[in-house]
């Protein structure tokens, strides 16, 4: 194995960091879109069917957010691997397939969906939907 130049090393780290930033931004945007969509559904649509639609859409947003958080964790693993191995080796140079290489080192999708960053946000929204559903059923 040959030693990698500092320029390539820095460029590879920048690429990985850009991907990590995009994944975090996607997660942030999904939280914003989910909150906006659910609130609009609950406020503007007054039937029980729309309440159930909001529960379904919450599940979709929750799953997508968990996926992006899991991918971000995979790329963080790749970043750590490059930091520790790249100065000595050119193995997997610019190989950005983080999920296939480090997916087994990262929590699964279900566990990520139940992490603190997801469960508090989406759990609170789910609670609001259930309260809204119960109040419309009881009235």
| Position 93 confidence tier, pLDDT thresholds 50, 70, 90 | low
With both helix axes pointing from N to C terminus, report the angle between 6-44 and 48-85 in degrees, rounded to the nearest 10: 170
What is the model's pLDDT at position 22? 93
What is the model's pLDDT at position 69? 92
With both helix axes pointing from N to C terminus, report the angle between 116-138 and 48-85 in degrees, rounded to the nearest 10: 180
Check whether 110 has a pLDDT greater than 60: yes
What is the model's pLDDT at position 51? 80
- What is this structure's pTM? 0.83
Check whether 4 has a pLDDT greater than 70: no
Using only C-alpha atoms, what is the Rg of the chain?
Answer: 20
What is the model's pLDDT at position 95? 67
Q: What is the mean pLDDT of the chain?
A: 83
d(CA 131, CA 4) in angstroms, rounded, equals 58
Instruction: Answer yes or no: are the C-beta atoms of 94 and 9 closer than 8 Å.
Output: no
- Domain spans in the chain, listed from the N-terminal domain onward: 6-138
Residue, of 87 and 9, whose pLDDT is higher? 9
Check whether 132 has a pLDDT greater than 80: yes
What is the model's pLDDT at position 23? 92
Over residues 19-48, mean pLDDT: 88
Residue, of 62 and 133, whose pLDDT is higher? 62
Task: Determine if residue 50 is left, alpha or beta; phi over 0 gives left, psi from -120 to 50 gives alpha, anything else beta.
Answer: alpha
């Amino acid at each position: 194995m040959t030693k990698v130049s500092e320029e390539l090393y820095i460029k590879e780290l920048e690429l990985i960091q850009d991907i990590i930033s995009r994944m975090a931004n996607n997660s942030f945007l999904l939280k914003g879109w989910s909150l906006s969509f659910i609130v609009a559904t609950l406020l503007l649509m007054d039937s029980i069917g729309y309440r159930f639609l909001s529960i379904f859409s919450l599940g979709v947003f929750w799953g997508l957010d968990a996926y992006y958080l899991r991918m971000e964790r995979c790329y963080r693993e790749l970043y750590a691997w490059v930091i520790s191995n790249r100065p000595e080796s050119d193995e997997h140079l610019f190989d950005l397939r983080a999920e296939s290489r480090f997916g087994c080192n990262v929590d699964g999708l279900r566990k990520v969906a139940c992490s603190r960053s997801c469960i508090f946000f989406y759990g609170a929204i789910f609670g609001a939907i259930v309260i809204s559903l119960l109040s419309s059923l009881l009235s």
